[in-house]
Amino acid sequence: MSDSQIEYLNLTAELMSIRKRGDVPLAYVRTYGCQQNVADSERIKGMLRKAGYSFTENAEEADFILFNTCAVREHAEDRVFGNVGALKKLKHRHPQILIALCGCMMEQEHVAKRIHDSFPFVGLVFGTHCMHEFPELLYKSLVDGSRVFVRDNDDKKVYEGIPTCRDGKFKGWLPIMYGCDNFCTYCIVPYVRGRERSRQPEIIIAEAKEMIEQGYKDITLLGQNVNSYGKGLDPRPTFAQLIGEIDKIPGDYWLRFMTSHPKDCTHELIDTIAESEHISLHLHLPFQSGSDRVLKAMNRHYDRAKYLDIVNYAKARIPDVSLTSDVIVGFPGETYEDFQQTLSLIREVGFTSLFTFIFSPRNGTPAAKMDDPVSDEEKGKWFRELLAVQEEIAAERCASMVGRVEKVLVEEKAKKEGRLCGRTSGNIIVEFDGDDSLIGDFHNVRITQARNWILTGELA
Ligand code: SAM
Ligand code: SF4
Ligand code: F3S
């Protein structure tokens, strides 16, 4: 982070020490969307903390309210518009608070315009490419009270040295790259996150080391397509080399990564997982559709055969591998026969779990202009059919684990009274009885029962 941005944080701290509503200036940060956004919010919180802010879960008492938004589907955008609208009364009651919006939605011109025209109580709007200027934007909005709108400044750089305030104490996100070059025809991400750029391997390895020393037990490397990590770096390391280097850091921890794009997923990566000490036995490999015709229309650059080749290689090299995926139902022009191909792929692979989405047209993407003759009602029926198939498969997979002893990272208290909740290396949820003091560490649990996609067990 530049010296001038650090200076703006100091100026904000001075200003807010006078203007705060309570004992300390309070910020309320709400994050929508994927882990990339969560990681961005953690950096924004890092900057806010340096500017003297503490954090609150209650927007009502905050001096600064920030929504970090997601544009991936219409539903995600609608939620943001609804929740921003609800802040109008709050701003009316406390005119001195600053309301700000950032993230993927704000990189879209029509969204920024709608916020500008219809939500006059929003004082600051900035897109994903302007995060490194946040201290300056914040200070300027606070000082002169005029509305600040900044977006679309993709200078293809990676900014380092931004402080991070992580939400978790033992599970953490570690971005290794930003943006996306793939332009899947349905997806808004390349338009709102800009071109792909990778962080230097030494910086990533040093951050991983620091997290492990701080006690992080579960570290997820983040990128829209981690398999193409290194593009533009000289010399160019492969993702397998990067993760292999991180794996050498001593300690008791799991290393995860997401997302892997099947077109760039190599046998080298799978060999690295198989031979590693810390990389979890989990591969999140979105296939999106089981039909070659639809995959081509989606611009995914792999076919069903290539996908199954990676899956079969992974199953052969990593016997306990847990596979998860993203899938879209109702892509424009998809027929019921195409959809049946998706179901047959799901059955053939045997996924532990799936993130399932109904196609949502995104303004400015090629798929939004494609003919889409299938009704929403019909797509809904297919969607429910897919969920029923996956439920059956997940239940079978979980049932096959009964009797085994699994290493589990204990994460929190389960909703059920007295129980603890954790995850296996394959990212499967396990509930068991135990003391709160076990939270945040690894423990062995004997699996005694499977309920759909959740396992129950007892301390071994
Ligand atoms: N980069 C990752 C990849 O290529 O698999 C995925 C990133 S995207 C944020 C997460 C998921 O959202 C995608 O895998 C896709 O299934 C889904 N998605 C993206 N755009 C969508 C759209 N327009 N409609 C429905 N689902 C969408
Ligand atoms: Fe979107 Fe495709 Fe990039 Fe993933 S790889 S972020 S689905 S364009
Ligand atoms: Fe949403 Fe942006 Fe992630 S559009 S899914 S928050 S990259």
Q: Whose CA is nearest to atom 1 of ligand 1?
A: 224
| Alpha carbons 118 and 82: distance in angstroms, whole number | 12
- Residue 353 sits in a domain whose CATH number is 3.30.750.200
Contact present, 322 and 427 (Cβ < 8 Å): yes
Strand order in the sheet with 98-103: 54-55, 26-31, 64-69, 98-103, 124-126, 148-150
Dihedral sign (CA 355, 195, 41, 85): negative
Looking at residue 452, its pLDDT comes to: 79
DSSP output for 256-314? EEE---GGG--HHHHHHHHH-SSB-SEEE---B-S-HHHHHHTT-S--HHHHHHHHHHH
Percent of the chain with pLDDT over 90: 95
**What would the pLDDT profile of 74-127 be if each residue is shown by its tens digit?**
999 999 999 999 999 999 999 999 999 999 999 999 999 999 999 999 999 999
Residue 162 lies in a domain: no
Residue 155 lies in a domain: no
Instruction: Tell me which DSSP letter residue 78 carries.
Output: H
| Alpha carbons 214 and 404: distance in angstroms, whole number | 31
Nearest to 337 by CA among 373, 290, 393: 290
Residue 160 lies in a domain: no
76 CA to centre of ligand 1 in angstroms: 12
> Which residue among 120, 150, 180 closes a domain?
150
- Residue 187 sits in a domain whose CATH number is 3.30.750.210
Same domain, 294 and 390: yes
Contacts for 22-26 with beta carbons within 8 Å, 24 or more apart? 22/61, 24/52, 24/53, 24/54, 25/51, 25/52, 25/53, 25/54, 25/63, 25/64, 26/53, 26/54, 26/55, 26/56, 26/61, 26/62, 26/63, 26/64
Does the C-beta of 39 come closer than 6 Å to ligand 3?
A: no
Looking at residue 153, its pLDDT comes to: 66
Mutation to probe ligand 1, out of 187, 221, 331 (largest number of atoms < 8 A from CB): 187
The mean-pLDDT minimum among 100-104, 365-369, 450-454 falls in 450-454
pLDDT of 334 strictly over 70? yes
Q: For 121, phi and psi rounded to 5 degrees?
A: -85, -5
- Cα 352 to Cα 2, 111, 346, 397: the distances in Å are 44, 37, 10, 7
| Alpha carbons 179 and 131: distance in angstroms, whole number | 14
Contact present, 29 and 45 (Cβ < 8 Å): yes
Same domain, 275 and 308: no
Same domain, 256 and 178: yes
> Which residue among 355, 379, 400 closes a domain?
400
- Residue 32 sits in a domain whose CATH number is 3.40.50.12160
357 burial class (0-12, 13-18, 19+ CB within 10 angstroms)? Answer: middle
Mean pLDDT of 208-217: 98
Same domain, 47 and 140: yes
The set of residues, in sequence order, having a beta carbon less than 8 Å from that of 424 and lying 6+ positions away, is: 322, 406, 407, 408, 430, 455
CA 99 to mean position of chain CA atoms: 24
Atom of ligand 2 nearest to the CA of 193: 6
Query: The whole model's pTM is what?
Result: 0.96
Same domain, 222 and 84: no
Secondary structure E strands in 171-236: 171-175, 177-178, 197-198, 218-222
Q: How confident is the model at residue 392 (pLDDT cuts 50, 70, 90)?
A: very high
- Cα 137 to Cα 68, 102, 260: the distances in Å are 15, 11, 34
Contact present, 286 and 431 (Cβ < 8 Å): no
Same domain, 35 and 105: yes
| Alpha carbons 304 and 307: distance in angstroms, whole number | 5
**What would the pLDDT profile of 409-431 be if each residue is shown by its tens digit?**
999 998 767 799 999 999 999 99
Same domain, 27 and 144: yes
Q: Extract the tokens encoding 235.
A: 């010399």
The mean-pLDDT minimum among 149-153, 358-362, 383-387 falls in 149-153
Secondary structure E strands in 311-440: 322-329, 353-358, 405-413, 419-424, 429-433
pLDDT of 62 strictly over 70? yes
- Residue 417 sits in a domain whose CATH number is 2.40.50.140
Residue 105 lies in a domain: yes
- My answer on whether omega of the bond before 12 falls inside 30° of 0, hence cis, is no
Atom of ligand 3 nearest to the CA of 68: 6
Same domain, 327 and 419: no
CB-based burial, 34-64: b 16+ in 10 Å, e otherwise: bebbbbbbbbbbebbbbbbbeebeebeebbb
Residue 221 lies in a domain: yes
Same domain, 387 and 440: no
Residue 157 lies in a domain: no
222 CA to centre of ligand 2 in angstroms: 13
Residue 70 assigned as binding residue = yes
Same domain, 14 and 146: yes
Length of the chain: 460
Nearest to 321 by CA among 329, 308, 312, 330: 312
72 CA to centre of ligand 1 in angstroms: 7
> Which residue among 400, 426, 445 closes a domain?
400
pLDDT of 223 strictly over 90? yes
Question: Which residues' Cβ are closer than 6 Å to ligand 2?
Answer: 180, 182-184, 187, 189-190, 224-225, 261
Contact present, 269 and 240 (Cβ < 8 Å): yes
Identity of residue 135: P
Please report how many Cα atoms fall inside a 13 Å half-sphere around the Cα of residue 254, on the Cβ side: 22
Smallest-distance ligand from the CA of 127: 3
Atom of ligand 3 nearest to the CA of 69: 6
Does the C-beta of 106 come closer than 6 Å to ligand 3?
A: no
Same domain, 23 and 135: yes
Question: Which residues' Cβ are closer than 6 Å to ligand 1?
Answer: 34, 72-73, 186-187, 189, 224-225, 259, 261, 286, 288, 326, 328, 357, 359-360, 362
Looking at residue 53, its pLDDT comes to: 98
DSSP output for 25-46? -EEEEEE-SSHHHHHHHHHHHH
Residue 187 assigned as binding residue = yes
Same domain, 262 and 288: no
pLDDT of 295 strictly over 80? yes
Nearest to 128 by CA among 168, 83, 175, 84: 175
Residue 290 lies in a domain: yes
| Alpha carbons 108 and 278: distance in angstroms, whole number | 39
- Beta bridge mates, 221: 174, 257
Residue 104 assigned as binding residue = yes
Q: Which domain holds residue 445?
A: 405-459
Number of domains in the chain: 4
Q: Extract the tokens encoding 328.
A: 């879209």
Residue 45 lies in a domain: yes
